[in-house]
Amino acid sequence: MTVNKDWFGGSGQAQWDPERVEEFKRTALEFLRRSFPDGQLRYASMHMDEEALHIHFVVAVWVEKTSANRGHQILLQPSENPLLKNYERAQDMAGAAFAKIGITRGERRAEARRQARAEGKPLPAKKEHVAPSQWRAEERRRAQKEKKRILYAAEATAKVAVEDGRDLAKATVKKSRKRAIKEAQARKRRAAKETAEATRRRDAAEEKAQQFEKAAAAASSTKKRIEAEIGSLKPIVQGYEERAEAAAEKFRQKRDARKLEEENTARISREKEDMEGALPALQQREADLHEQVQSLAQHRANEEAAGMAAQSARRIEEKKLAEAAKRVQLKVAEAEAISEAMEVGLELVADGALVWQDAMPGSKPKLSWGPSAPVDEHGRAEKLKEIRPARRLVARIARLVAQTVKRVLAKERQKLQDDAEYVRGLREQWEPEAQARLAQISRDPDGGRL
Protein backbone atom coordinates (compact mmCIF):
# COMPACT_ATOMS: atom_id res chain seq x y z
CA MET A 1 0.00 0.00 0.00
CA THR A 2 1.56 3.29 -1.08
CA VAL A 3 0.89 6.65 -2.74
CA ASN A 4 2.78 8.92 -5.13
CA LYS A 5 5.96 10.36 -3.57
CA ASP A 6 4.90 13.95 -4.39
CA TRP A 7 2.03 13.67 -1.86
CA PHE A 8 4.61 13.23 0.94
CA GLY A 9 6.68 16.15 -0.31
CA GLY A 10 9.35 14.71 -2.59
CA SER A 11 11.72 11.85 -3.25
CA GLY A 12 13.24 10.36 -0.11
CA GLN A 13 12.57 10.57 3.60
CA ALA A 14 14.52 13.83 4.00
CA GLN A 15 11.86 15.67 1.96
CA TRP A 16 8.73 14.10 3.48
CA ASP A 17 6.25 16.04 5.59
CA PRO A 18 6.14 14.32 9.05
CA GLU A 19 2.45 15.19 9.53
CA ARG A 20 1.49 13.53 6.22
CA VAL A 21 3.54 10.46 7.09
CA GLU A 22 1.63 10.14 10.35
CA GLU A 23 -1.75 10.68 8.61
CA PHE A 24 -0.98 8.01 6.00
CA LYS A 25 0.16 5.54 8.65
CA ARG A 26 -2.92 6.08 10.83
CA THR A 27 -5.41 5.91 7.91
CA ALA A 28 -3.76 2.82 6.40
CA LEU A 29 -3.87 0.86 9.68
CA GLU A 30 -7.52 1.80 10.25
CA PHE A 31 -8.39 0.63 6.72
CA LEU A 32 -6.48 -2.66 7.07
CA ARG A 33 -8.03 -3.53 10.46
CA ARG A 34 -11.51 -2.69 9.19
CA SER A 35 -11.09 -4.52 5.86
CA PHE A 36 -9.47 -7.68 7.30
CA PRO A 37 -11.22 -8.41 10.62
CA ASP A 38 -11.19 -11.47 12.86
CA GLY A 39 -7.44 -12.02 12.72
CA GLN A 40 -7.16 -11.96 8.91
CA LEU A 41 -4.51 -9.21 9.13
CA ARG A 42 -1.41 -11.12 10.26
CA TYR A 43 1.44 -8.67 9.61
CA ALA A 44 2.01 -5.01 8.64
CA SER A 45 5.31 -3.13 8.30
CA MET A 46 5.96 0.43 7.17
CA HIS A 47 9.10 0.94 5.00
CA MET A 48 10.91 4.24 4.32
CA ASP A 49 13.80 2.94 2.22
CA GLU A 50 12.49 4.05 -1.18
CA GLU A 51 11.31 7.25 -2.84
CA ALA A 52 7.79 6.98 -1.30
CA LEU A 53 6.64 5.56 2.02
CA HIS A 54 4.89 2.17 1.66
CA ILE A 55 3.36 -0.55 3.88
CA HIS A 56 3.83 -4.28 3.37
CA PHE A 57 1.00 -6.37 4.90
CA VAL A 58 0.09 -10.06 4.99
CA VAL A 59 -3.46 -11.41 5.34
CA ALA A 60 -4.72 -14.99 5.83
CA VAL A 61 -8.43 -15.73 5.18
CA TRP A 62 -9.44 -19.05 6.80
CA VAL A 63 -12.88 -20.61 6.28
CA GLU A 64 -14.64 -23.73 7.61
CA LYS A 65 -16.46 -25.99 5.17
CA THR A 66 -18.23 -29.36 5.39
CA SER A 67 -18.54 -31.55 2.31
CA ALA A 68 -19.94 -35.02 1.71
CA ASN A 69 -16.62 -36.41 0.60
CA ARG A 70 -14.10 -34.69 2.87
CA GLY A 71 -16.25 -33.79 5.81
CA HIS A 72 -15.37 -30.79 8.05
CA GLN A 73 -12.45 -28.74 6.70
CA ILE A 74 -10.57 -25.51 7.56
CA LEU A 75 -9.34 -23.96 4.29
CA LEU A 76 -7.22 -20.94 3.33
CA GLN A 77 -9.50 -19.19 0.82
CA PRO A 78 -8.63 -15.51 0.07
CA SER A 79 -11.63 -15.01 -2.19
CA GLU A 80 -13.88 -15.10 0.86
CA ASN A 81 -12.76 -11.52 1.58
CA PRO A 82 -14.56 -9.04 -0.75
CA LEU A 83 -11.42 -6.96 -1.26
CA LEU A 84 -9.32 -9.92 -2.36
CA LYS A 85 -12.14 -11.33 -4.47
CA ASN A 86 -12.43 -8.13 -6.52
CA TYR A 87 -9.39 -5.86 -6.70
CA GLU A 88 -11.40 -3.06 -8.31
CA ARG A 89 -13.67 -3.08 -5.28
CA ALA A 90 -10.58 -2.98 -3.07
CA GLN A 91 -9.38 0.11 -4.95
CA ASP A 92 -12.80 1.76 -4.58
CA MET A 93 -12.89 1.09 -0.84
CA ALA A 94 -9.29 2.27 -0.38
CA GLY A 95 -10.06 5.45 -2.34
CA ALA A 96 -13.05 6.14 -0.09
CA ALA A 97 -11.00 5.49 3.06
CA PHE A 98 -8.07 7.73 2.03
CA ALA A 99 -10.21 10.54 0.54
CA LYS A 100 -10.48 12.19 3.96
CA ILE A 101 -6.72 12.98 3.90
CA GLY A 102 -6.74 14.14 0.27
CA ILE A 103 -5.73 10.95 -1.57
CA THR A 104 -7.98 10.03 -4.51
CA ARG A 105 -8.47 6.71 -6.27
CA GLY A 106 -6.42 6.05 -9.41
CA GLU A 107 -7.75 5.86 -12.93
CA ARG A 108 -10.40 3.16 -13.61
CA ARG A 109 -8.50 1.56 -16.49
CA ALA A 110 -10.14 -1.91 -16.27
CA GLU A 111 -13.65 -0.39 -16.27
CA ALA A 112 -12.71 1.83 -19.21
CA ARG A 113 -11.48 -1.23 -21.16
CA ARG A 114 -14.70 -3.16 -20.41
CA GLN A 115 -16.85 -0.21 -21.48
CA ALA A 116 -14.85 0.26 -24.69
CA ARG A 117 -15.09 -3.45 -25.45
CA ALA A 118 -18.88 -3.37 -24.85
CA GLU A 119 -19.31 -0.36 -27.13
CA GLY A 120 -17.03 -1.80 -29.81
CA LYS A 121 -14.54 1.03 -29.51
CA PRO A 122 -10.72 0.69 -29.64
CA LEU A 123 -9.35 -0.45 -26.32
CA PRO A 124 -7.16 2.03 -24.35
CA ALA A 125 -3.48 1.22 -24.23
CA LYS A 126 -2.77 -1.25 -21.48
CA LYS A 127 -0.19 -0.38 -18.89
CA GLU A 128 2.68 -2.80 -19.02
CA HIS A 129 4.92 -3.78 -16.16
CA VAL A 130 8.54 -2.80 -16.65
CA ALA A 131 11.05 -5.42 -15.57
CA PRO A 132 13.67 -4.23 -13.02
CA SER A 133 16.50 -5.02 -15.44
CA GLN A 134 14.82 -2.94 -18.14
CA TRP A 135 14.17 -0.11 -15.68
CA ARG A 136 17.80 -0.16 -14.54
CA ALA A 137 19.00 -0.15 -18.13
CA GLU A 138 16.79 2.88 -18.80
CA GLU A 139 18.09 4.57 -15.67
CA ARG A 140 21.68 3.94 -16.79
CA ARG A 141 20.88 5.36 -20.20
CA ARG A 142 19.30 8.42 -18.59
CA ALA A 143 22.28 8.78 -16.24
CA GLN A 144 24.71 8.63 -19.17
CA LYS A 145 22.63 11.16 -21.06
CA GLU A 146 22.51 13.42 -17.99
CA LYS A 147 26.27 12.97 -17.53
CA LYS A 148 26.88 14.05 -21.13
CA ARG A 149 24.51 16.98 -20.70
CA ILE A 150 26.31 18.10 -17.53
CA LEU A 151 29.69 17.65 -19.21
CA TYR A 152 28.61 19.67 -22.24
CA ALA A 153 27.14 22.32 -19.92
CA ALA A 154 30.42 22.42 -17.96
CA GLU A 155 32.41 22.80 -21.17
CA ALA A 156 30.05 25.53 -22.35
CA THR A 157 30.34 27.26 -18.97
CA ALA A 158 34.13 26.98 -19.13
CA LYS A 159 34.11 28.48 -22.62
CA VAL A 160 31.88 31.30 -21.39
CA ALA A 161 34.25 31.82 -18.45
CA VAL A 162 37.24 31.97 -20.81
CA GLU A 163 35.39 34.43 -23.05
CA ASP A 164 34.45 36.44 -19.99
CA GLY A 165 38.10 36.35 -18.95
CA ARG A 166 39.12 37.65 -22.35
CA ASP A 167 36.50 40.37 -22.19
CA LEU A 168 37.69 41.18 -18.67
CA ALA A 169 41.28 41.30 -19.89
CA LYS A 170 40.36 43.64 -22.75
CA ALA A 171 38.32 45.82 -20.41
CA THR A 172 41.25 45.84 -17.98
CA VAL A 173 43.53 46.95 -20.81
CA LYS A 174 41.22 49.83 -21.57
CA LYS A 175 40.89 50.76 -17.90
CA SER A 176 44.65 50.51 -17.37
CA ARG A 177 45.31 52.71 -20.38
CA LYS A 178 42.73 55.25 -19.22
CA ARG A 179 44.20 55.14 -15.72
CA ALA A 180 47.74 55.66 -17.07
CA ILE A 181 46.59 58.61 -19.20
CA LYS A 182 44.68 60.04 -16.25
CA GLU A 183 47.72 59.70 -13.96
CA ALA A 184 49.97 61.28 -16.61
CA GLN A 185 47.54 64.18 -16.94
CA ALA A 186 47.46 64.54 -13.15
CA ARG A 187 51.28 64.57 -13.03
CA LYS A 188 51.28 67.11 -15.84
CA ARG A 189 48.86 69.31 -13.88
CA ARG A 190 51.04 69.01 -10.78
CA ALA A 191 54.12 69.91 -12.82
CA ALA A 192 52.28 72.93 -14.26
CA LYS A 193 51.27 73.91 -10.74
CA GLU A 194 54.88 73.56 -9.53
CA THR A 195 56.06 75.58 -12.54
CA ALA A 196 53.56 78.33 -11.76
CA GLU A 197 54.65 78.32 -8.10
CA ALA A 198 58.34 78.54 -9.08
CA THR A 199 57.54 81.38 -11.49
CA ARG A 200 55.62 83.18 -8.73
CA ARG A 201 58.58 82.82 -6.33
CA ARG A 202 60.94 84.06 -9.05
CA ASP A 203 58.76 87.12 -9.68
CA ALA A 204 58.54 87.75 -5.93
CA ALA A 205 62.34 87.55 -5.66
CA GLU A 206 62.74 89.99 -8.57
CA GLU A 207 60.23 92.36 -6.99
CA LYS A 208 62.07 92.17 -3.66
CA ALA A 209 65.40 92.83 -5.41
CA GLN A 210 63.86 95.88 -7.06
CA GLN A 211 62.66 97.07 -3.66
CA PHE A 212 66.18 96.60 -2.27
CA GLU A 213 67.59 98.59 -5.20
CA LYS A 214 65.06 101.39 -4.59
CA ALA A 215 65.93 101.44 -0.88
CA ALA A 216 69.66 101.58 -1.70
CA ALA A 217 69.03 104.51 -4.06
CA ALA A 218 67.02 106.29 -1.33
CA ALA A 219 69.80 105.67 1.20
CA SER A 220 72.36 107.06 -1.23
CA SER A 221 70.19 110.15 -1.76
CA THR A 222 69.84 110.63 2.03
CA LYS A 223 73.62 110.34 2.44
CA LYS A 224 74.22 112.97 -0.19
CA ARG A 225 71.70 115.29 1.48
CA ILE A 226 73.36 114.84 4.89
CA GLU A 227 76.80 115.48 3.39
CA ALA A 228 75.40 118.62 1.79
CA GLU A 229 74.05 119.79 5.20
CA ILE A 230 77.43 119.14 6.81
CA GLY A 231 79.14 121.13 4.05
CA SER A 232 76.72 124.02 4.59
CA LEU A 233 77.34 124.02 8.38
CA LYS A 234 81.14 124.18 8.11
CA PRO A 235 81.23 127.84 6.87
CA ILE A 236 78.89 128.88 9.70
CA VAL A 237 81.14 127.24 12.32
CA GLN A 238 84.22 128.80 10.76
CA GLY A 239 82.46 132.22 10.83
CA TYR A 240 81.64 131.74 14.50
CA GLU A 241 85.27 130.91 15.26
CA GLU A 242 86.56 133.89 13.24
CA ARG A 243 84.18 136.35 14.95
CA ALA A 244 85.15 134.93 18.36
CA GLU A 245 88.84 135.44 17.62
CA ALA A 246 88.15 138.96 16.33
CA ALA A 247 86.14 139.82 19.44
CA ALA A 248 88.87 138.49 21.75
CA GLU A 249 91.44 140.47 19.92
CA LYS A 250 89.31 143.59 20.16
CA PHE A 251 88.76 142.91 23.87
CA ARG A 252 92.51 142.68 24.48
CA GLN A 253 93.12 145.92 22.55
CA LYS A 254 90.48 147.88 24.46
CA ARG A 255 91.09 146.33 27.90
CA ASP A 256 91.83 149.66 29.42
CA ALA A 257 89.03 151.41 27.62
CA ARG A 258 86.09 153.08 29.14
CA LYS A 259 83.39 151.46 31.14
CA LEU A 260 81.15 151.48 28.11
CA GLU A 261 83.78 149.52 26.31
CA GLU A 262 83.91 147.12 29.26
CA GLU A 263 80.19 146.60 28.95
CA ASN A 264 80.63 146.02 25.26
CA THR A 265 83.46 143.62 26.03
CA ALA A 266 81.24 141.80 28.53
CA ARG A 267 78.50 141.55 25.89
CA ILE A 268 80.98 140.29 23.36
CA SER A 269 82.19 137.75 25.93
CA ARG A 270 78.63 136.53 26.47
CA GLU A 271 78.22 136.19 22.71
CA LYS A 272 81.46 134.24 22.56
CA GLU A 273 80.29 131.98 25.36
CA ASP A 274 77.04 131.44 23.53
CA MET A 275 78.89 130.58 20.35
CA GLU A 276 81.26 128.26 22.22
CA GLY A 277 78.23 126.58 23.83
CA ALA A 278 76.65 126.06 20.39
CA LEU A 279 79.87 124.64 18.94
CA PRO A 280 79.75 121.22 20.82
CA ALA A 281 76.13 120.77 19.72
CA LEU A 282 77.15 121.36 16.12
CA GLN A 283 80.05 118.93 16.50
CA GLN A 284 77.70 116.35 17.99
CA ARG A 285 75.27 116.94 15.10
CA GLU A 286 78.16 116.36 12.66
CA ALA A 287 79.10 113.09 14.44
CA ASP A 288 75.45 111.94 14.34
CA LEU A 289 75.21 112.70 10.66
CA HIS A 290 78.45 110.81 10.03
CA GLU A 291 77.09 107.81 11.96
CA GLN A 292 73.86 107.93 9.92
CA VAL A 293 75.92 107.94 6.71
CA GLN A 294 77.80 104.84 7.87
CA SER A 295 74.51 103.14 8.86
CA LEU A 296 73.04 103.93 5.45
CA ALA A 297 76.13 102.54 3.76
CA GLN A 298 75.82 99.32 5.78
CA HIS A 299 72.11 99.12 4.96
CA ARG A 300 72.88 99.53 1.26
CA ALA A 301 75.51 96.79 1.48
CA ASN A 302 72.93 94.52 3.18
CA GLU A 303 70.38 95.30 0.47
CA GLU A 304 72.91 94.53 -2.26
CA ALA A 305 73.70 91.19 -0.56
CA ALA A 306 69.96 90.42 -0.28
CA GLY A 307 69.53 91.21 -3.98
CA MET A 308 72.36 88.86 -4.86
CA ALA A 309 70.77 86.16 -2.64
CA ALA A 310 67.40 86.70 -4.36
CA GLN A 311 69.06 86.31 -7.76
CA SER A 312 70.77 83.12 -6.57
CA ALA A 313 67.43 81.79 -5.23
CA ARG A 314 65.79 82.62 -8.57
CA ARG A 315 68.47 80.67 -10.43
CA ILE A 316 67.98 77.71 -8.02
CA GLU A 317 64.21 77.81 -8.54
CA GLU A 318 64.65 77.90 -12.32
CA LYS A 319 66.99 74.90 -12.08
CA LYS A 320 64.44 73.00 -9.92
CA LEU A 321 61.71 73.91 -12.39
CA ALA A 322 63.73 72.50 -15.29
CA GLU A 323 64.45 69.30 -13.32
CA ALA A 324 60.74 68.91 -12.43
CA ALA A 325 59.74 69.32 -16.07
CA LYS A 326 62.32 66.70 -17.05
CA ARG A 327 60.98 64.27 -14.38
CA VAL A 328 57.43 64.83 -15.62
CA GLN A 329 58.49 64.02 -19.18
CA LEU A 330 60.21 60.84 -17.96
CA LYS A 331 57.12 59.79 -15.94
CA VAL A 332 54.84 60.42 -18.92
CA ALA A 333 57.11 58.39 -21.19
CA GLU A 334 57.27 55.60 -18.59
CA ALA A 335 53.46 55.58 -18.20
CA GLU A 336 52.99 55.40 -21.96
CA ALA A 337 55.47 52.50 -22.18
CA ILE A 338 53.70 50.64 -19.35
CA SER A 339 50.29 51.25 -20.98
CA GLU A 340 51.49 49.91 -24.34
CA ALA A 341 53.13 46.90 -22.65
CA MET A 342 49.92 46.22 -20.67
CA GLU A 343 47.84 46.32 -23.86
CA VAL A 344 50.14 43.86 -25.65
CA GLY A 345 50.40 41.55 -22.58
CA LEU A 346 46.66 41.41 -21.97
CA GLU A 347 46.00 40.69 -25.64
CA LEU A 348 48.43 37.75 -25.33
CA VAL A 349 46.57 36.54 -22.20
CA ALA A 350 43.19 36.95 -23.88
CA ASP A 351 44.39 35.03 -26.97
CA GLY A 352 45.85 32.20 -24.88
CA ALA A 353 49.47 32.96 -25.84
CA LEU A 354 50.34 33.62 -22.17
CA VAL A 355 48.89 31.49 -19.35
CA TRP A 356 49.46 31.25 -15.61
CA GLN A 357 51.16 28.01 -14.49
CA ASP A 358 50.67 27.00 -10.84
CA ALA A 359 53.49 25.74 -8.66
CA MET A 360 54.81 22.30 -9.61
CA PRO A 361 57.28 20.05 -7.75
CA GLY A 362 60.64 21.74 -8.13
CA SER A 363 59.29 24.95 -9.67
CA LYS A 364 57.47 28.09 -8.58
CA PRO A 365 54.25 29.51 -10.03
CA LYS A 366 54.99 31.63 -13.05
CA LEU A 367 53.72 33.15 -16.30
CA SER A 368 54.21 30.61 -19.07
CA TRP A 369 53.65 30.30 -22.81
CA GLY A 370 50.26 29.00 -23.89
CA PRO A 371 49.10 27.04 -26.97
CA SER A 372 48.75 30.23 -29.05
CA ALA A 373 52.30 31.45 -28.28
CA PRO A 374 54.78 32.12 -31.11
CA VAL A 375 56.61 28.96 -32.15
CA ASP A 376 60.06 30.43 -32.81
CA GLU A 377 62.30 31.77 -30.06
CA HIS A 378 62.80 35.08 -31.85
CA GLY A 379 59.04 35.77 -31.84
CA ARG A 380 58.79 34.92 -28.14
CA ALA A 381 61.77 37.14 -27.32
CA GLU A 382 60.11 40.03 -29.19
CA LYS A 383 56.85 39.54 -27.25
CA LEU A 384 58.71 39.41 -23.92
CA LYS A 385 60.55 42.59 -24.86
CA GLU A 386 57.25 44.33 -25.63
CA ILE A 387 55.60 43.39 -22.30
CA ARG A 388 58.69 43.77 -20.08
CA PRO A 389 57.62 47.17 -18.54
CA ALA A 390 54.29 45.69 -17.35
CA ARG A 391 55.19 42.02 -16.95
CA ARG A 392 54.22 41.87 -13.26
CA LEU A 393 50.78 43.37 -13.90
CA VAL A 394 50.22 40.99 -16.84
CA ALA A 395 51.22 38.03 -14.62
CA ARG A 396 48.74 39.11 -11.93
CA ILE A 397 45.89 39.40 -14.45
CA ALA A 398 46.77 36.01 -15.99
CA ARG A 399 46.74 34.46 -12.51
CA LEU A 400 43.30 35.99 -11.78
CA VAL A 401 41.92 34.61 -15.09
CA ALA A 402 43.34 31.15 -14.33
CA GLN A 403 41.87 31.18 -10.82
CA THR A 404 38.46 32.21 -12.17
CA VAL A 405 38.44 29.38 -14.74
CA LYS A 406 39.65 26.91 -12.10
CA ARG A 407 36.82 27.86 -9.72
CA VAL A 408 34.22 27.41 -12.46
CA LEU A 409 35.66 24.03 -13.49
CA ALA A 410 35.83 22.96 -9.83
CA LYS A 411 32.12 23.68 -9.45
CA GLU A 412 31.32 21.68 -12.59
CA ARG A 413 33.54 18.79 -11.46
CA GLN A 414 31.72 18.78 -8.12
CA LYS A 415 28.40 18.56 -9.98
CA LEU A 416 29.74 15.64 -12.03
CA GLN A 417 30.95 13.96 -8.86
CA ASP A 418 27.54 14.42 -7.24
CA ASP A 419 25.88 12.88 -10.31
CA ALA A 420 28.34 10.00 -10.20
CA GLU A 421 27.51 9.47 -6.52
CA TYR A 422 23.83 9.44 -7.43
CA VAL A 423 24.41 6.80 -10.14
CA ARG A 424 26.56 4.81 -7.70
CA GLY A 425 23.70 4.94 -5.21
CA LEU A 426 21.34 3.58 -7.85
CA ARG A 427 23.73 0.74 -8.54
CA GLU A 428 23.85 -0.13 -4.85
CA GLN A 429 20.06 -0.57 -4.85
CA TRP A 430 20.09 -3.12 -7.65
CA GLU A 431 19.21 -6.72 -7.04
CA PRO A 432 22.02 -9.11 -5.98
CA GLU A 433 21.69 -11.01 -9.25
CA ALA A 434 22.21 -7.82 -11.27
CA GLN A 435 25.19 -6.81 -9.12
CA ALA A 436 26.74 -10.25 -9.61
CA ARG A 437 26.14 -9.97 -13.33
CA LEU A 438 27.76 -6.52 -13.41
CA ALA A 439 30.72 -7.82 -11.42
CA GLN A 440 31.12 -10.66 -13.91
CA ILE A 441 31.01 -8.20 -16.80
CA SER A 442 33.61 -6.02 -15.06
CA ARG A 443 35.93 -9.05 -14.72
CA ASP A 444 35.38 -10.16 -18.31
CA PRO A 445 38.82 -10.73 -19.87
CA ASP A 446 37.45 -9.56 -23.21
CA GLY A 447 37.34 -6.03 -21.84
CA GLY A 448 33.61 -5.69 -21.20
CA ARG A 449 32.81 -2.67 -19.04
CA LEU A 450 29.75 -0.97 -17.64
Do 215 and 107 share a structural domain? no
Residue 82 counted as domain residue: yes
Do 203 and 114 share a structural domain? no
Distance CA 134, CA 99 (A): 34
Residue 278 counted as domain residue: yes
Compute how many other C-beta atoms are within 10 angstroms of the C-beta atom of residue 398. Answer: 25
Residue 139 counted as domain residue: no
What does the pLDDT look like over 9-44, one tens digit per residue?
Answer: 988 888 999 999 999 999 999 999 999 998 899 999
Residue 439 counted as domain residue: no
Residue 333 counted as domain residue: no
CATH code: domain of residue 246: 1.10.287
pTM above 0.75, yes or no: no
* Residue that finishes a domain, picked among 298, 322, 346: 322
| Strand partners for 13 | none
Phi, psi of 43 (to 5 degrees): -160, 140
Helical pair 377-387 and 391-428, crossing angle rounded to 10 deg: 110
DSSP three-state, residue 39: coil
Compute how many other C-beta atoms are within 10 angstroms of the C-beta atom of residue 322. Answer: 12
Residue 318 counted as domain residue: yes
Task: Provide the domain count of the chain.
Answer: 2
DSSP three-state, residue 367: strand
* Residue that finishes a domain, picked among 259, 294, 322: 322
What does the pLDDT look like over 215-259, one tens digit per residue?
Answer: 767 767 776 776 776 677 667 666 766 766 776 677 667 666 667
Closest by CA position to 1, among listed 52, 77, 49: 52
Residue 234 counted as domain residue: yes
Residue 216 counted as domain residue: yes
* Residue that finishes a domain, picked among 322, 337, 359: 322
Q: Is residue 410 within 8 Å of residue 422, measured between CB atoms?
A: no
Identity (one letter) of the amino acid at 40?
Q
Do 311 and 186 share a structural domain? yes
Distance CA 281, CA 274 (A): 11
Distance CA 416, CA 403 (A): 20
What does the pLDDT look like over 63-83, one tens digit per residue?
Answer: 888 877 878 888 898 888 888
83: domain range? 5-121
